[in-house]
Amino acid sequence: MGARRAETLVFKVDPERPDPEAVKAAARILRGGGLVAFPTETVYGLGAVASNPRAVMRIFEVKRRPPDNPLILHVSSVEQLFEVAREVPPHALKLVDRFWPGPLTLVLPKSERVIREVTGGLGKVAVRMPAHPVALALIREVGEPIAAPSANLSGRPSPTTAQHVLEDLGGLIEAVLDAGETLHGLESTIVDLTSDPPVLLRPGALPVEAVEEVLGRRVLVPDFARGLGEADRALAPGTRYRHYAPSAQLVVVEALDYSDLGPLASTVRRLVEEARGRRVCILCTEETEGLYEGLPATLLKLGSRREIFTVARNLFKALREVDSLGCELVIAEGFEERGLGLAVMNRLRKASGFQIVRAS
């Protein structure tokens, strides 16, 4: 188990024009087998050189991540995609053309070069090219793909700032590149292209509707991608674990129809009243905050329902904040499963450990 190290180096860098010396120093640490957390446009990743089995194993140790939950390979060029994937079908290239660099991870048959520690022994590999100048500069400087999951302790909300990384992994990893808050605040969308039709393994910062538009066909959205239930490990590793969770109990209140927020708000109010004596937080929205006035609960506003991008961006931050506020029960409002709303619901349902209450 990862012993606390003396100190985690923090390299503060400009997100747009990172200091080349800081990037070089971080790349040296990686090449030496160390772990470096780095910003991407989604969340902060915890990187190791993808070809180094000992470094990759250490990712699992410090995160306390089950070894069968595989990592995403981060590349800085399409050539690197061809090195790690055995086959890159034309529809994969279409997606690459349109969305890379960006928050879309493709699952493809793996090449011989990808070590088993990265894929948890599976025959497929997950690959993406991040759209963040710091991440791209780092991968280029290392000269080969970087294996990286999110830089949080397993089960905790993903980090959207370097402070979040240090909260979870300070003293356990060699360094973090600090470029401030990430853009999306939500992980990448993962699509498995090895099956027909393609399957959404995880909704994320790129709406699945955009992927379907480019492919010109439907992508299968299984229940586990909605955050309902668990998938077979060979199909969708990682979906079986409770994820993104604060220490507090979390309940999601879901409406059948979000065009009328009345039943949603009255169900939230009832749950607050039933929770007498416990410290309650409500994850609410601009549209509903006025409906909770006078309740013995702390309101954390995620944003407006008309701007789901902002809601998604604030979600993980809020899931960490409820713990620092000492909340014992978190009541989260649900969202329509459209666009980024699908990813938001996936995260909320998993964070709740599937404690879902229907609005009535």
Residues in contact with ligand AMP by the rule CB under 6 A = 69-72, 107, 119, 122, 124-126, 149-150, 187, 190, 201-202, 237-238
Cβ-based neighbour number of residue 150 at 10 Å: 30
Nearest approach, Cβ of 156 to Mg ion (angstroms)? Answer: 9
- The residue number with the shortest CB distance to Mg ion is 150
CB 287 within 8 A of CB 265: no
Is 42 one of the binding residues for Mg ion (CB under 5 A)? no
* Integer angstrom CA distances of residue 216 from 83, 147, 188, 304: 27, 31, 21, 31
Q: Residue 202: which of Mg ion, ligand AMP, none does it interact with, CB under 5 to 8 A by kind?
A: ligand AMP
Is 346 one of the binding residues for Mg ion (CB under 5 A)? no
User: Between 122 and 166, whose beta carbon lies closer to ligand AMP?
Assistant: 122
Give the residue from 269, 266, 236 showing the smallest Cα distance to 350: 236
Cβ-based neighbour number of residue 122 at 10 Å: 18
User: Between 34 and 149, whose beta carbon lies closer to Mg ion?
Assistant: 149
User: Structure tokens of 120?
Assistant: 């948890």
User: Between 18 and 227, whose beta carbon lies closer to Mg ion?
Assistant: 227
Q: Residue 77: which of Mg ion, ligand AMP, none does it interact with, CB under 5 to 8 A by kind?
A: none
Nearest approach, Cβ of 146 to ligand AMP (angstroms)? Answer: 12
User: Between 108 and 136, whose beta carbon lies closer to ligand AMP?
Assistant: 108
Q: What is the dihedral of CA 327, 333, 337, 340, to 10 degrees?
A: -60
The residue type at 110: K
Q: How far apart are CA 71 and CA 77, in angstroms?
A: 18
User: Structure tokens of 277?
Assistant: 């004596």
Of residues 79 through 118, those in contact with Mg ion by CB under 5 A are none
- Strands 280-284, 329-333: parallel, antiparallel or unpaired by DSSP? parallel
Is 188 one of the binding residues for Mg ion (CB under 5 A)? no
Nearest approach, Cβ of 149 to Mg ion (angstroms)? Answer: 5
Nearest approach, Cβ of 217 to ligand AMP (angstroms)? Answer: 20
Q: Residue 50: which of ligand AMP, Mg ion, none does it interact with, CB under 5 to 8 A by kind?
A: none
Nearest approach, Cβ of 219 to ligand AMP (angstroms)? Answer: 15
* Integer angstrom CA distances of residue 304 from 89, 286, 314, 319, 360: 39, 5, 11, 17, 22
Give the residue from 336, 330, 337, 335 showing the smallest Cα distance to 353: 330
User: Looking at 48-56, 93-101, 148-156, 204-212, which segment touches Mg ion (CB under 5 A)?
Assistant: 148-156
Is 150 one of the binding residues for Mg ion (CB under 5 A)? yes
Q: How far apart are CA 109 and CA 194, in angstroms?
A: 7
DSSP structure string for 316-341: HHHHHHHHHTT-SEEEEE---SSTTH
Nearest approach, Cβ of 359 to Mg ion (angstroms)? Answer: 29
Q: Residue 69: which of ligand AMP, Mg ion, none does it interact with, CB under 5 to 8 A by kind?
A: ligand AMP
Nearest approach, Cβ of 163 to ligand AMP (angstroms)? Answer: 19
* Integer angstrom CA distances of residue 256 from 57, 174, 261, 315, 356: 44, 47, 10, 21, 12
Of residues 197 through 226, those in contact with Mg ion by CB under 5 A are none
Q: Residue 107: which of ligand AMP, Mg ion, none does it interact with, CB under 5 to 8 A by kind?
A: ligand AMP
Nearest approach, Cβ of 172 to Mg ion (angstroms)? Answer: 16
Binding site for Mg ion (CB under 5 A): 149-150
